[in-house]
Structures are given as C-alpha cells and as structure tokens.
Amino acid sequence: MMELQEDEKIILKDDAKSDYFGKGTLYMTSKRIVLDVKTGGLLSKTTEVKIDKLLGTIKEVTAAGGKELRIQFEGSVEPTTLYVANAEKWAAGMNSALTFSGKT
C-alpha cells in the first residue's frame, strides 16, 4: 500500500487499470506517480505497489480516447498505458506539476 513521504500530499486519486499490472488505484502526489494493485484471492487480498516513479522522471503524458492515459517515463522504451475515468484530467494534472517543477 502506498505510504506518503514527509511533506507529500495526494493531488489526484482514481481507480485505474493496466493491461500489464491489473486493476488498482492510481495516485499523483506532490512528488510521485504511484499505482497500487490489488492481488490475491477472495480471502487473501493484498495491495502491491507496481509503479512508484518521481514526477521528474516523466518525459511526456498524453490522453487518448477519453480513458487512456499514456505516461512516458525516462529510461522506458514504451509508454506506460493506464485506463482511468478521465484521462484528460490526469494528463493536465501531470503536465501542470511538470510545468510547476520546471521540467517542461
């Protein structure tokens, strides 16, 4: 389960799905992008952090088709694709955070 670091705040939080990781919760904090995914069976559900990247490692964010959010992280060949209810809101939030931090 995602834990906040000192001086870190949750900016966006939403249900998300990844073809690779499965269903979970996507967080954008003041410092990071985190995807928590539920794993296990009916009686033994646990949550695992599958993505935990600093905002500064984002090279590009795009929203395609309403629910498809693509995030290109530094060092990754392919973008990470996540499905959220409002991909444009997430892309705008991430781009704002990157602009604010001087990344773009």
Is residue 3 one of the residues assigned to a domain?
no
Residue type, 43: L
Is residue 5 one of the residues assigned to a domain?
no
pLDDT 10s digits, 88-101: 999 999 988 877 65
- The number of domains in the chain is 1
Give SS3 for 91.
Answer: helix
Is residue 2 one of the residues assigned to a domain?
no
pLDDT at 32: 94
Q: Which domain CATH number covers 37?
A: 2.30.29.30
Does the predicted model carry a pTM greater than 0.85? yes
Is residue 39 one of the residues assigned to a domain?
yes
Is residue 75 one of the residues assigned to a domain?
yes
pLDDT 10s digits, 21-74: 999 999 999 999 999 998 877 777 788 999 999 999 999 999 987 899 999 999
Dmax (CA) of the chain: 46
Q: CA 86 to CA 65: how far, in whole Å?
A: 10
The parent domain of residue 65 ranges over: 10-100
Is residue 4 one of the residues assigned to a domain?
no
